[in-house]
Structure 1
Amino acid sequence: MSAAPMKLTLKLCLIVLSMCFLIGCATAARTGNGARSIPSLPTEERRPAPVSKAYAHYIQGLLLMRENDADGAISAFKKAAEFDPDASPIHVQLARAYLVQGKGEMAAIEALRAIHLNPDDSDAHLLLGVIYAHQGRYDEAAEHLISVLKTYPDNIGVLNSLAEIYETKQDLYKLIEVYRSIVDVRPDLEWVRNRLALAYIKVGSFDRAEAELKKTLELFPDYAEAHYNLGVLYELREEPARAIEQFEKVLVSAPNNVEARKKLGVLYASQEQWEQAIAQYEALVRQRPHVINFRKALGLLYLRSGRLDDAREQFEYSIEKDPNDATTHYLLGAVYQEQGDLDKALEHFAHVTAIDEEALRAYLKLGLLYGEKNMPGMVIEALQKAIDLGARSEPVYLLLGTAYQQQQEPEKAIAAFEEALRIRPDSAIAHFRLAVLYEEQDRFENAVEELRNTIELDPDNADALNYLGYMFAEKGENLEEAGDLIRRALDIEPDNGYYLDSLGWVHYQQGDYEGALEYLERAIGNIEEDDPVIREHIGDAHLKLGNPDKAREQYERALALDPDNDAVSKKIEDLKSAAPEPPNNPAP
């Protein structure tokens, strides 16, 4: 209920009049504090003329009110007041008539006059309480209603009006007190018990709320609203199984209860009970097929459970109804991504950014997918936008650095990987990527440092172990350590041809050419595609072992794989130059 003053309506006026009638017209026969009332006719003497005339007009006014003639009634009550201005019941009835006309201020004035004449006039207090409540003067309204309850403590209508005031003010403890009073009088009013339980929930008295709702359900087992609120209570107490049980009971008596189905769908999804969640949202879509949010939720559940075609159907329906719904475009992009249709996925993620230029997640998706399509320039553009929007994470800078590396922009790549390390200093991947860049720039010591960092953080990183070992082998340095590092890599991947090549090259640098040749030949047999570096290494080993022809054969195969390798071309030329001239045997 809003805290704004409520508009007075004719229906409300009639309710007030009914409540006053229930309280009774006892005030018409009551006097108090010197106030005068309309007396009964004496049996042995006649009324004084003014009082008698007041009584006549008063009765006329009541009759006119019964005929719904508020204007005539007001005129009659005013005449009655002229003859007997100190009779509080006349002013009460005049206030009622004004209230029927929607004249709240005039009604309040007359009710106040009645209270001035008779401070114990419950009808006047009730009228003024209701008027003030609808003017937003809640404290004053409550004060007058409490005055009524002093005389009529069990009046349900007055108690309920007071409860509505406290609910509007969110004075929950007073609200609980009033509802408890109503329950004491009428324990059979299920709606009161239900509201009492809700008030307990709001103040965090979950045990009392549970007790009240259970008592309600003992009296009214099929009361759907109590089952619903008990489900909400269990949900707040993080007892999903019990909450689900209550919401399911709601649907037994109220199968079209949308809120209960929504609750069930969310709860089942939170427990990863996808099929049960899907069943609830399928029912919601059948009930309300045009509610887009239900279709989006159902599509998301289909997506999470791997039913991609069903998910796409729901999202495409939603897009048809609202082409500029960025969320649905995003979800549809996710479906196409899962289905491997990267072009369609990119189309929808791009649509998201066209609708919302600050759609951070969409830019991240674009960066990732452009990376999969090997479009580093587009990766950079998308990720820079994401970073401008606040995306600062290790994976973002790793992907950005990789894109710069592909674009042959090493300094920008290094800056990106260094930023990744500022965000996450223990990122083994970032250390390794930096090592590769440093090695490519001939920054040997920096590369070694970053590779050692990588191995310290990730001792089973076979690529880093092999990379550092091979770097040492190429330099002819730390060969014992190089061999140990590469053997550790081979313990992890024993059939990796490139690791076998590295170990073969360590043996070569140590002068063990036969051992080198053994590992190098194993290496060439464990790679899917022929490799010019390994062929060159085999050639070098053969040459050291005094097999120039075999060496030349391997060099020629290496050159065929890498025609621009000048070093291999020179080795072939050197072998040709060193080969003895074939004998010149003239014909006899």
Structure 2
Amino acid sequence: MKIFKFLTVFTLVLVFTVKSLAGITAGMIIFKVVDENNKPLEGVKITITMKKRQSFKKVLETNKKGIAKVTLNIATYTVKFEKEGYVAYETLTKPIISDKKVENIKLMSMKAAAKQEESKLSPEDRGALLFNQAVEYLKKKDDKGAYPLLKQAVELNPDLAFAWFHLGRIDLMNNKLDDAERELLKAIDLNSSMGPAFALLADVYKKKGDEENYKKYHKKAEEMGAIDPAEYYNKAVEYINAGDDKNAKVYLEKTLQVDAKYADAYYQLGLLYLRQGDMNKCVEMLKKYLELAPNGKYAGDCQGLIQGLTAGQ
């Protein structure tokens, strides 16, 4: 009987000891998450992973007060905090044996983080950043959205040649000729190989009636292959309408030198060769048109002419 009593007491002590040990091998962690303005953040996803045993994972979410609680065994954990619109944050933590530990976490919104990073940049880098933002508007052909960003960009970084170019292009379109002239000259000063800037500057001087500078910059743009092929084509059409096939041919060929896929130029050349009696060249040009623009506005005319000219062959 004494042995039985001893075993019973020993068992009770053992159970009590195990329970006690279980209580001291874990601790509670309270996460308090706020934003950059110290306002509680609700709905922050908290992923807890044990560092030495990656298979162990717990996922929590903060309440309206930005708080989430968890009890963990004593170990080192990786904790990741995530919320849409905020910069994710990761840290290490370890519970305190049989006690509560408070982890104060601050998440920064994407917008605030961007401003913080921008404030660290030099004026030149901020200018480049603004230009990159302007480019996104330019890709969407939104000059109105791009223009103020381009203005700010060159104020901070006056060495942005392409920003000056686009300012000049937009001001030319809006007939602000003096501004366009200044901006395009600045672009060329920074990048003398920028052919389109020479072409636009020629347009500025043409609108201003400055024949000397128009010829100067147009010639330079031409040498750089920067003239819009439509300009040559339109000039050719003017000569065609005036009955001057000789000069029309020169400008149609210039059109194709700049853009070998300018289909309408082949059509006009075909008609020009037809007028000159060169049927083979005419058919060659019309077939080239159909190759490039099988559904183009002159496709039907080309097919009819080719059929008529080759019927007896």
More strand by share: 2
Q: Which has the larger radius of gyration?
A: 1
